[in-house]
Amino acid sequence: MTVVQILILAGFAILLGLLRRGRSLALMGASALAIYWLQPQGSPFSFWFPTLTLALTALAWAVAAPSEARGLRQNWPALAVLFGVSLAVALPSRLPLEARLFPPPGSLRILVAALGVVFALVILLSSLRGGHRPLLTFGALILIVIFVFLKSPALPRGALTFLDNLRGRAPDPKTLVNFAWLGYSYLAFRILHTLRDRQDGLLPAVGLAEYVNYVIFFPSFTAGPIDRLERFIKDLRVPLPLANDDMLFAGQRLALGLFKKFFVADLLALVSVNDALIAQTRSGGWLWLELFAYTLRVYFDFSGYTDIAIGTARLLGVRLPENFDAPFLKPNLAQFWNAWHMTLTQWFRAYFFNPFNRALRSAKRPLPAWLMILLTQVTTMLLIGLWHGVTWNYALWGLWHGIGLFLQNRWSEFVRRRFPDLGAGPVSRRVFHAGGAALTFVYFSLGMAFFALSTPRLSLAAFMKLFGIS
């Protein structure tokens, strides 16, 4: 997002926050328009990705919502707004306009037919009573398959080349560059959370408008945080009154986020490690500085977007959860990951780490404790790495942190048993805390050699230069 887009969305948030009637429908319509507006253009899919976002969200609600919330009478206004937005975005594309706010659909007939199919499926699925568990599982699998496809660079490239060959056209490099489904990673994880909670009977009864607002809430759609449905709808149903303190808080978080993202992070980007700098940098010392700069850049960029999301949401009376809690001040890797991208790690803890850990512990022949710790931590961090992209480097990044967490766990247990009084005094406690924070920062930064660079070969070259091997 640009500064102008952020300020425009903040302005709309103020106006929507003043509404007392029809607020949920208005917010849903604004969020739907926002994802069309923010979707990167220049690709034949630029219109269809936001449309698929709305379709998947409506279908997920029809499958996941408890039966008492699925009545057509109370949900038809939301359906009308949802499909009306797609048509409203598409119609101006038929006019001879030079500049458009939204991507064109290509074919209006195909759009109308597709919306008709989705509408019929929503009505059909929402009318079903019981027996939803297979549909919930199938829906989750569909989301994961799409996720893997989008996050695997070779798969979209191969699919687009195949389609171009079928049409007898040469592959267009611009299509692949602009092949980006805005916000899908967060969309998928929000919907997966609701499908999984529905399987466990924990999902609250929510109408279509509330569900769509949760999934595509425009302040947090593109970069999180990942809220929980039951917490979000409390604020949506009884929004906080927009008092002076809330305006001040929102303004401060927006200003802080803009400063972090567009000043600090963009400055650090000039000296951050990348593929080109690896070959140009001769000194290991300079490479350390470039790696540290990249680490700080990622933090200020990501936490800046989080500040912007939290500030904008407060203008709407919604308190989004925090995503960062001074992670670079934490004395070990475990505490670091409890303070970095917290809503993502909490999601994985709830839906993978804890169930996997319980399954291992309840096995007829339980594994040794150390092996269970190794398996749960490494697999969890591996999945978090692959969440960023299905590539070797992201997998190595996840393994780096999974192994680091295991080693830190074993070391902490060793020190606790052998040296129970170590660091007990106030001075020594501060010294160990500072030393642990510095070591954690260095370890996390070393892992960024996998995150910042595109291939394992480049990452290995970076490690060799960092430690003076080449």
pLDDT tens-place string over residues 156-215: 888 777 776 776 776 666 556 567 899 999 999 999 999 999 999 999 999 999 999 999
102 part of a folded domain: yes
Are 61 and 136 part of one and the same domain?
Answer: yes
What's 130's DSSP letter? S
Q: Are residues 64 and 103 in the same domain?
A: yes
CB 208 within 8 Å of CB 23: no
Give the separation between CA 61 and CA 227, rounded to whole angstroms: 17
pTM of the model: 0.93
Given a contact cutoff of 8 angstroms between Cβ atoms, the answer to whether 25 and 208 are in contact is no
What is the residue type of 376?
Answer: T
263: confidence class by pLDDT, cuts 50, 70, 90: very high
According to the model, what pLDDT value does residue 429 have?
84
The total of other beta-carbon atoms located within 10 Å of residue 295's CB is 23
Distance in Å from the first CA to the final CA of the chain: 40
Run of H or E residues at 18:
none
Closest CA to 69 of 229, 218, 192: 229
Domain boundary (197, 217, 237) is at 237
Structure-token match 């949900």, residue found: 75
| Dist. CA 92–CA 207, nearest whole Å | 30
Of 71-85, 111-125, 353-367, 412-426, which range is least confident?
412-426
Nearest to 202 by CA among 156, 250, 262, 136: 136
Is it the case that residue 406 has pLDDT exceeding 90?
yes
> Mean pLDDT over residues 354-367, rounded?
91
| 217: pLDDT strictly greater than 70 | yes
CA distance 85 to 29: 7
Q: Which pLDDT belongs to residue 100?
A: 59
Which of the listed residues 315, 335, 352 is the one where a domain comes to its end?
Answer: 315
Q: What residues contact 25, with CB distance under 8 A and at least 6 apart?
A: 77, 78, 81, 209
Cα distances (angstroms) measured from residue 437 to each of 13, 88, 336, 443 = 38, 52, 9, 10
Calculate mean pLDDT across residues 140-168.
85
| Coil vs helix vs strand at 214 | helix
Which of 61-75, 115-129, 171-185, 393-407 is least confident? 171-185
Task: DSSP letter for 310, please.
Answer: H
Place of tokens 């803890």: 349
CA-to-CA distance for 41 and 391, rounded, in angstroms? 25
Is 320 within a domain?
no
Share of the chain above pLDDT 90, in %: 71
Handedness of CA 129, 131, 134, 136 (dihedral sign): positive
Same domain, 198 and 306: no
Residue 3 lies in a domain: no
**Which of these ranges, 164-168, 289-293, 340-344, has the smallest mean pLDDT?**
164-168
Query: Going by C-beta distance under 8 Å and a sequence separation of 6 or more, which residues neighbour residue 65?
Result: 126, 198, 203, 205, 206, 207, 208, 211
pLDDT of residue 178: 61
Q: Tell me the C-alpha distance between 69 and 207, whole Å.
A: 5
What pLDDT was estimated at residue 282?
Answer: 84
Which structure tokens are listed for 438?
Answer: 């510095």
Rg of the chain taking only CA atoms, in angstroms: 24
The verdict on 165 and 311 lying in the same domain is: no
Tell me the pLDDT band of 98, cut-offs 50, 70 and 90: very low
Who's near 448: CB < 8 A, 6+ residues apart? Answer: 273, 291, 294, 295, 298, 397
**pLDDT of 170:** 65
Verify that 66 and 199 share a domain, yes or no: yes
Quote the pLDDT of residue 32: 96
Instruction: State the sign of the Cα–Cα–Cα–Cα dihedral 38, 225, 219, 59.
Output: positive
What is the average pLDDT score of the chain?
90
Q: Is residue 2 part of a domain?
A: no
Using an 8 Å Cβ cutoff, are 40 and 182 in contact? yes
187 and 259 fall within a common domain: no
Highest mean pLDDT among 14-18, 172-176, 460-464: 460-464
Identify whether residues 34 and 145 lie together within a single domain. yes
61 and 40 belong to one structural domain: yes
pLDDT band at 96, cuts 50/70/90?
Answer: low
Distances in whole angstroms, Cα of residue 4 to Cα of each of 183, 207, 258, 271, 281: 19, 33, 11, 26, 36
- How many structural domains does the chain have? 3
Domain that holds residue 120: 19-237
**What average pLDDT does this structure show over 116-137?**
86
Nearest to 30 by CA among 221, 167, 199: 221
**226 and 197, same domain (yes or no):** yes
pLDDT at 287 over 80: yes
Kindly state whether residue 113 falls inside one of the protein's structural domains: yes
Q: Are residues 338 and 399 in the same domain?
A: yes
CB hemisphere CA count around 393 (13 angstroms): 21
Confidence of residue 71 (pLDDT cuts 50, 70, 90): confident
Note whether 301 and 261 are within 8 A (CB): yes
Domain identity same for 224 and 77: yes
In a domain, 354, yes or no: yes
Determine, yes or no, domain membership for 219.
Answer: yes
At 426, the amino acid letter reads P
pLDDT score, position 279? 82
Helices (H) and strands (E) in the chain, counts: 22, 0
Whether residue 14 is contained in a domain is answered as: no
Q: What's the pLDDT at 301?
A: 97
Give the three-class secondary structure for 50: helix
Quote the CA–CA distance of 308 and 7 in Å, as a whole number. 10
**Domain identity same for 212 and 273:** no
- Considering all CA atoms of the chain, what is the largest pairwise distance in Å, rounded to the nearest integer? 77
Of 185, 209, 237, the one marking the end of a domain is 237
The answer to whether residue 289 scores a pLDDT higher than 70 is: yes
d(C-alpha 320, C-alpha 310), whole Å: 6
Pairwise pLDDT comparison (147 vs 133), residue with the higher score: 147
Q: Are 293 and 232 in contact (CB under 8 A)?
A: no
